[in-house]
Structure 1
Amino acid sequence: MSMRRAVATATGVLLGMAALSLTATPAHAAPKRKKADAPPVTVAHRGASGYAPENTLAAVEKADKLGFDWVENDVQRTKDGELVVMHDTTLARTTNVEKLFPDRSPWNIRDFTAKEIGRLDAGSWFSDDYKGEKVPTLKKYLKAITGNHQRLLLELKSPELYPGIELQTLKELSENGWLDSKHTKDKLVIQSFNAASVKTTHDLHPALKTGFLGNPKVSELDTYAKFTDQINPTYSAATKDYVKAVHARKGARGDRMEVFTWTVNDGSTARTVDKAGVDGIISNYPDVVREATRG
């Protein structure tokens, strides 16, 4: 499918998605801290990416084996309109693309077809144990986490590069059973560093929980609260005062706003942000965070 056709297809379901937004059962709180002494939710960053190659099905399986049901991933779009799971906008760091396609620098995802990306090895860079691991499509990723009964914190990565990706992602989530009230209630959050993209996602499906990656000024939080439910800053910005300021507001769905912080990979930092009152901690080593926070 060409990118033009993919966007056109997504646009063609706009009315259907709008109707879904209006008829969906209002969602309430995804997992959050019910009590002051409750441990934060631990999210496996790009899967359990400290132990397996990031954003692969192997990392999802590792998170599952470690006992974690929340996983985080990144979604982008290929040249021919397929949604794939990868963090970097270029394929160079985590695949053998330079070897297979030496003349196509800088190896941007949007310059390769899904079939071409499907040929790549996305595991050997991490360890020979994962040689041959593939870059998953979003569809295959959703199938895997559905089978594991896992929950998803999905990041729209650099959405400004992929016009219409918000609607296209919602369409694919819907087609794979991820936009029913069961999932929008406590199994799915969509986040991005791009505030306009978060707002678009909320406008398209108000029942869905959204998160903004970053730490807006406290004076700006009321504006963000109109279209997002989480403020998700780096751990150095997740101070007790900042978390308290976020918690003092209700998000776009009417629930208390939450703070999910990243990327915390050691026990000391995990305990610090836990004491600050964060609702969730995103980690490459989720077992380390769980042990440190009694999660």
Structure 2
Amino acid sequence: MAVVDYVPVAEVGIANPLADAAATIADLDGDGDPDLLTNDGWAPNRAETATFGVLNVLLPGHRGQIIAGDLDGDGDLDLVAAGDATHPLQWLRNDGNASFLPAATIGDGTPATRLMLTDLDHDGDLDIIAGHADKKTREVHTYLYVNLDGTGEFSPATKLIEEPFTPLHLLDWNQDGRVDLVGNYGVGQLVVMQNGPKFSHVATVAEFAVAEIDVADFDADGDPDFVLVENAFDELSGDTASRIWVYQNLGSDKLVANRIAEQNGQLAFGFNQTFGNVSFADVDNDGRDDILTTYSSR
């Protein structure tokens, strides 16, 4: 068994109950090491001392998601902030010197519940996918902001797909060089949507209630596969049975399901014991993706 030692937790910035509910990493100053990106700002990585510098607050009190990507094509990472009750959807241009220009509002500024960056129209620059709630019904749908000229000028929001919003995974399902989508829409509705003039449903991946999903080339054959968590609840007994499935993509819209974790299987879990988040990662550095998951029981 491998033993890993961790250094004590270090606090970065100042305590702020209105922000920093989530954090991620990105090389914002272009020095080759990952910096810390929070809901309201960022802190540079001081690799020589294994610490982070002072938090640079960019959006005081911002509670929404913030992500990094090169929106203007100049080689450094800009920021997109989802907004919240007091902040609009906006982006901040990185000037290349680890400083950010004042935020520019995107579209009409409606805050987003979730953000993604990808080149959806296949023109070489990053577009924005955002979840927006209808102001009357509060139902959330998925919208697209097209990066019009590669310099950060965005189109008005257009509804990307008709289904209610769900967190999406990006993949090239049919290996045509264009980004496709997969979304979880309930029991038997984990759906692949193929990129074209419009997004069209091309495959229903699972016929059960999917709790969690990740996408990677698990069998190293060049196309994306799926790892899914099924948590099946029995209303009569009140029991829950949890399983992990890998769906191998064989091309031509064909999928093969392999259940790798079940009672009496590779991993033994009984009733009232459930898997949580699941993801692919090459944990043992052997060139093959392994499966990471959380687990709980009651």
Query: TM above 0.5, one fold?
Result: no
> Going by fraction, where is helix more abundant, 1 or 2?
1
> Going by fraction, where is strand more abundant, 1 or 2?
2
Larger Rg over CA atoms: 2
TM-score by length of 1: 0.26
